Amino acid sequence: MSPAVLISIAVVAVALILLLILRFQMHAFVALLLVSFLTALAAGIPPGDVIGIIQEGMGNTLGYIAVVVGLGAMFGELLRITGGAGQIARTLVRAFGQDRVQWALGLTSFLVAIPVFFDVGLIILIPLVYTLTKRYGRSLLYYAIPLLAGLASTHAFIPPTPGPVAVAGIIGADLGWVILWGTIAGLPAVAVGGVFFGRYIADRIRVDVPEYMERPEEEAEKEGVTTPSFALVVSIILIPLALILVNTLSDLALAEDSLARNVLTLIGHPFSALTIAVLLAFYVLGVRHGYSREEVQGAASKALEPVGLIILVTGAGGVFGNVLQESGIGDAVQGIMEASNLPIVLLAFLAAVFVRVSLGSATVAMVTSAAIVAPAIEGAGYSAPLVGAIVVAIASGATVLSHVNDSGFWLVSRFLGLSEKHTLQSWTVMVTLVGLTGFLTVLSISLFL
């Protein structure tokens, strides 16, 4: 088939995914699989080969992502039940003081969201926002926006959260570079979208703690259980990130066959690094602070319940990407991208913005847009640092313009007691600033790669 026909098939495929999810309310997992089947047949792949391509795409994607997301979920649940996340919040607020409490909230949520999903991080930390609002009498948004910006930035930019892990797996990025660029892009995004915009919008929209979110008296703490220290919690959060980054940097600094590099490759692989962190969390955060082994293992099992759908949707995105590649559509997309003379980082960002605005879900937008641009990346021979930057560009595009088709929009609206109009004026503008700041940062980095 001609490149024009193949591109047309790809455009129709993406449009059909959007139609099935938005108009017919089909689950993203089923929609991606169904469209992958139809795309393969439309592109001329023999029917007998389609199942093999579907299976290959699912297996190649989930063989990596399922392990990382599963371990990350366990780590986050241990941090939650042991009070580690709350300890970070309380310590940073005390250290920064009232005048700089916004910075403390942004940094707290930025750290907490590394092992914890966005909605879980919000549920854990929102009581702190309520307390500060009542104590100091400012608009709820003054404290909530920096908190939300930190959660949104880390959720989008820094593994082991599912979005960047999924994109990295689909386009073949090194997680070490993703962590590095995601951190560099995420911190200014928190400052711009969280602290500075938070001050601006709080002066224009007065919001108090919603009555239906008034919390009852806390239950008595379990006897014999203690809360881990701030230093301990932060250390355990940073251990897997440090191991992964050191492994990535060792590829540049050490000889290929050296013993040191081989050891760092082993312990710095995301599988090993997260396993080490989870085992430490089991014992140091759990057993050492009064939880039984049965309680720790129960929490670990419970943590896996909500990640099943995320893993399946990610795998279906890998299937779609593999179909695009095997059908020749990927080569056609690559040709058009090369002919456009636009930087690949910009193209990846724009693709993610389109899917994000259409679909709503940031994770699904990341997976779908990664599948679209993956063939062009695979055939172009980009350096590992640049591919890592592309992941952050996709994550940035999938963060902007959250609106009524995004579950996060309604979650924030409920917890803050905002009308739809005020949610658009606050939350939607904030995530757009976060995404744009992250993109401009990583675009600047990419010019030197």
pLDDT tens across 384-435, in order?
899 999 999 999 998 998 876 566 777 778 778 888 788 888 999 999 999 9
Quick one: pLDDT at residue 94?
78
Q: Provide the pLDDT confidence category of residue 217 given band limits of 50, 70 and 90.
A: very low
Q: Distance (Å, rounded) from C-alpha 211 to C-alpha 90?
A: 24
Quick one: pLDDT at residue 239?
83
CB distance 169 to 61 below 8 Å: yes
Distances 235 to 88, 254, 282 between C-alpha atoms, Å = 11, 26, 14
Output DSSP code: residue 433.
H
Report residue 19 as tokens. 């139609």
Report residue 275 as tokens. 């396993």
Give the chain's radius of gyration (CA, Å): 22
CB distance 445 to 389 below 8 Å: yes
Helix orientation angle between 384-397 and 344-359, rounded to the nearest 10 degrees: 30
pLDDT tens-digit readout, 86-116:
677 677 777 877 778 889 889 888 887 776 6
Report residue 117 as tokens. 């999903």
Q: Which are the contacts of 105, defined by CB distance < 8 A and separation ≥ 6?
A: 89, 92, 93, 125, 128, 129, 143, 146, 147, 150, 194
Torsion of CA 260, 261, 263, 264, to 10 degrees: 110
Quick one: pLDDT at residue 222?
58
Phi, psi of 147 (to 5 degrees): -60, -45
Least confident interval from 171-175, 252-256, 298-302, 416-420: 252-256
For residues 52 and 234, the model is more confident at 52
Quick one: pLDDT at residue 396?
94
Q: Which are the contacts of 20, defined by CB distance < 8 A and separation ≥ 6?
A: 26, 30, 31, 34, 35
Domain ranges of the chain: 3-217+224-446
Report the Cα 355 to chain-centroid distance in Å: 16
Q: Does the structure show a pLDDT above 60 at 31?
A: yes
pTM tops 0.85:
no
- Rounded to 5°, angle at Cα 390 from 303 and 366: 45
Most confident of 116-120, 328-332, 373-377: 373-377
Q: What percent of the chain has pLDDT over 70?
A: 87
* Nearest Cα residue to 109 out of 443, 430, 441: 430
Q: Does the structure show a pLDDT above 80 at 48?
A: yes
Q: Distance (Å, rounded) from C-alpha 219 to C-alpha 198?
A: 33
CB distance 13 to 33 below 8 Å: no
